[in-house]
């Protein structure tokens, strides 16, 4: 998909750029506790300033459902954002006269009932505040809201620096990837990633299934899984996905050895055994070392990796071993330039950070729902609105 970047908007001297950003940050006692999303704003604000423009930031916070909820105001975010940007940041409520600051945060877009309805009238109100529109919030791009979709049809529009980098990385991962392509899909439930699996078997050469999801696929093939987490009602669905993969020439990889325990807790007594020998009362909590060794070999033979979800109960030692081991294998290949590595989703980012390899991947998306919908092959409204017709 072709889309404009900030540089394509030309000289912005004396103009205001409306930038849709993600300021939905964790807060405690009125203070921001994680600056990651604020830091992602800086590149676009700097790019606008470099061509003479001022920035008005549009963002939501939490779910006020179209009402003014004081505890969900964006005003407390302003001091931390000012520190991150190294610029004075003002604050305004829609309908007020904008202050003269070089950067202004507009109050929570979701305080307006028309935001989540993609109301053209509200989009026009937003648009009246500026001269150009920039979407730099991939994490909100799967929502057709007034500040993400309708406004892009009113003003000259472009992707922000963070959004642009995200779209380019995703295009390289699944749009026009270097092959072979391998996808790692983990997590607890098949039902939450059914559309992802169905899309990926048509697009990748290797599909690695981990976490509780793998148990459902093992069960579907008649393998005993003891007391493991499993969606037994999806047995037929799992078999259909395996058949689709076979038809599409996609190799599906499931654990061949597993780590089992009789208690779901950190450092529970555990045992490594073949996946076919799980006894009643035992829970599969991780893939085993032989599986990790085999899967690392699969990665070695590939050029592109897309990752979403852990291989086991990574929050509890020692059931983090497969996730950490496979992540380190991917990171080593990525650092050598042999494997393009793209990962996304909250649990995935946490797992890669836990493994100490977050900075070694080619691209990490902090988006949750948007990343999943992209993996499902869906068109994201906020991205589609930026396309050059």
Domain boundaries, the chain: 6-163, 177-375
- Catalytic residue list contains 10: no
145-162 residue pLDDT tens: 999 999 999 999 999 999
What is the total residue count of the chain?
389
Q: What is the CATH superfamily name and number for domain 6-163?
A: Phosphoglycerate kinase, N-terminal domain (3.40.50.1260)
161 assigned to a ligand binding site = no
The residue from 75, 117, 172, 189 that is catalytic is 189
18-30 residue pLDDT tens: 999 999 999 999 9
- What's the whole-number mean pLDDT along residues 307-324? 96
Report yes or no: 142 and 382 within 8 Å, Cβ to Cβ.
Answer: yes
Compute the distance between CA of residue 332 and CA of residue 326 in angstroms, rounded to an integer. 10
Residue 135 has pLDDT above 90, yes or no: yes
- Catalytic residue list contains 37: yes
Q: Extract the tokens encoding 182.
A: 């391998």
- What's the whole-number mean pLDDT along residues 261-271? 97
**Peptide bond just before 180 cis, omega within 30 deg:** yes
Q: Extract the tokens encoding 224.
A: 């005993």
375-389 residue pLDDT tens: 999 999 999 999 986
Confidence of residue 367 (pLDDT cuts 50, 70, 90): confident
62 assigned to a ligand binding site = yes
6-163 and 177-375, same CATH topology: yes
Report yes or no: 97 and 60 within 8 Å, Cβ to Cβ.
Answer: no
- What's the whole-number mean pLDDT along residues 162-175? 93
36-56 residue pLDDT tens: 899 999 999 999 999 999 999
Report yes or no: 87 and 54 within 8 Å, Cβ to Cβ.
Answer: no
- Catalytic residue list contains 42: no
179 assigned to a ligand binding site = no
193 assigned to a ligand binding site = yes
- Provide the percentage of residues in the chain whose pLDDT is more than 90: 94
Residue 230 has pLDDT above 80, yes or no: yes
The residue from 37, 186, 211, 309 that is catalytic is 37
Using the structure block, give the residue that is written with the tokens 């506790």: 33
The residue from 66, 368, 369, 377 that is catalytic is 369
Distance in Å from the first CA to the final CA of the chain: 10
Q: Give the number of other Cβ atoms within 10 Å of residue 162's Cβ.
A: 23
Compute the distance between CA of residue 199 and CA of residue 374 in angstroms, rounded to an integer. 10
**Taking each helix axis from N to C terminus, what angle separates 161-170 and 42-50, rounded to the nearest 10 degrees?**
120
Compute the distance between CA of residue 201 and CA of residue 194 in angstroms, rounded to an integer. 11
Using the structure block, give the residue that is written with the tokens 């829970």: 283
24 assigned to a ligand binding site = yes
315 assigned to a ligand binding site = yes
- Residues whose CB is less than 8 angstroms from the CB of residue 91 and which lie 6 or more positions away in sequence, other chains included: 74, 75, 78, 99, 104, 105, 107
Report yes or no: 342 and 376 within 8 Å, Cβ to Cβ.
Answer: no
**Confidence (pLDDT) at 236:** 97
Compute the distance between CA of residue 222 and CA of residue 292 in angstroms, rounded to an integer. 23
Helix (H, G, I), strand (E, B) or coil at 280: coil
291 assigned to a ligand binding site = no
Q: Give the number of other Cβ atoms within 10 Å of residue 36's Cβ.
A: 12
**Taking each helix axis from N to C terminus, what angle separates 321-335 and 346-355, rounded to the nearest 10 degrees?**
80
**Confidence (pLDDT) at 389:** 67
- Looking at the domain covering 177-375, what would its CATH class be? alpha beta
Give the 3-state secondary structure of 195-210: HHHHHHCCCCCEEEEC
Compute the distance between CA of residue 85 and CA of residue 363 in angstroms, rounded to an integer. 22
63 assigned to a ligand binding site = yes
Compute the distance between CA of residue 92 and CA of residue 18 in angstroms, rounded to an integer. 13
Q: Extract the tokens encoding 52.
A: 């003479």
The DSSP 8-state label assigned to residue 302 in this structure reads -
- Catalytic residue list contains 95: no
The residue from 52, 249, 346, 356 that is catalytic is 346
Supply the mean pLDDT for the chain: 96
276-301 residue pLDDT tens: 999 999 999 999 999 999 999 999 99
348 assigned to a ligand binding site = yes
37 assigned to a ligand binding site = yes
Compute the distance between CA of residue 218 and CA of residue 221 in angstroms, rounded to an integer. 5
- Provide the percentage of residues in the chain whose pLDDT is more than 70: 100
Confidence of residue 346 (pLDDT cuts 50, 70, 90): confident
Using left for φ > 0, alpha for ψ between -120 and 50, and beta otherwise, residue 377 falls in left
Q: Of residues 304 and 348, which shows the higher confidence score?
A: 304
Is the pTM higher than 0.85? The answer reads: yes
345 assigned to a ligand binding site = yes
Confidence of residue 347 (pLDDT cuts 50, 70, 90): confident
- What's the whole-number mean pLDDT along residues 200-215? 97
Using the structure block, give the residue that is written with the tokens 């059914």: 194
23 assigned to a ligand binding site = yes
């Amino acid at each position: 998909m072709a889309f404009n970047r900030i540089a394509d908007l030309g000289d912005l001297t004396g103009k205001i750029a409306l930038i849709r950003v993600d300021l939905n940050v964790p807060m405690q006692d009125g203070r921001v506790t994680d600056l990651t999303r604020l830091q992602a704003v800086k590149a676009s604000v700097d790019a606008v300033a470099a061509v003479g423009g001022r920035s008005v930031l549009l963002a939501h916070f939490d779910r006020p459902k179209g009402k003014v909820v004081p505890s969900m105001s964006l005003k407390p975010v302003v001091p931390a954002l000012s520190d991150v940007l190294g610029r004075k940041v003002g604050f305004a409520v829609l309908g007020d006269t904008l202050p003269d600051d070089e950067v202004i945060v507009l109050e929570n877009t979701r305080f307006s009932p028309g935001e989540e309805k993609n109301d053209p009238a509200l989009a026009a109100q937003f648009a009246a505040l500026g001269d150009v529109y920039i979407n730099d919030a991939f994490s909100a791009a799967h929502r057709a809201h007034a500040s993400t979709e309708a406004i892009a049809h009113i003003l000259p529009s472009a992707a922000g620096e963070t959004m642009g980098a995200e779209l380019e990385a995703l295009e390289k991962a699944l749009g026009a990837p270097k092959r072979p392509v391998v996808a790692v899909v983990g997590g607890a439930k098949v039902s939450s990633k059914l559309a992802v699996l169905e899309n990926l078997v048509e697009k990748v050469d290797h599909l690695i299934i981990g976490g509780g999801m793998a148990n459902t696929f093992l069960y579907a093939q008649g393998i005993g899984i003891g007391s493991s987490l499993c969606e037994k009602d999806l047995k037929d669905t799992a078999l259909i996905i395996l058949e689709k993969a076979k038809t599409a020439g996609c190799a599906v990889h499931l654990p061949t050895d597993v780590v089992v325990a009789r208690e779901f807790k950190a450092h529970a007594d555990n045992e490594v055994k073949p996946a076919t020998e799980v006894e009643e009362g035992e829970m599969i909590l991780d893939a085993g070392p032989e599986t990790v060794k085999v899967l690392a070999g699969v990665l070695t033979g590939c050029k592109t990796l897309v990752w979403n979800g852990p291989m086991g109960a990574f929050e509890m030692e020692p059931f983090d071993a497969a996730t950490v081991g496979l992540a380190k294998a991917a990171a080593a290949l990525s650092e050598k330039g042999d494997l393009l590595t793209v990962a996304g989703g909250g649990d995935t980012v946490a797992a890669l950070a836990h493994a100490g390899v977050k900075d070694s991947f080619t691209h990490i998306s902090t988006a949750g729902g948007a990343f999943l919908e992209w993996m499902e092959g869906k068109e994201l409204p906020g991205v589609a609105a930026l396309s050059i017709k």
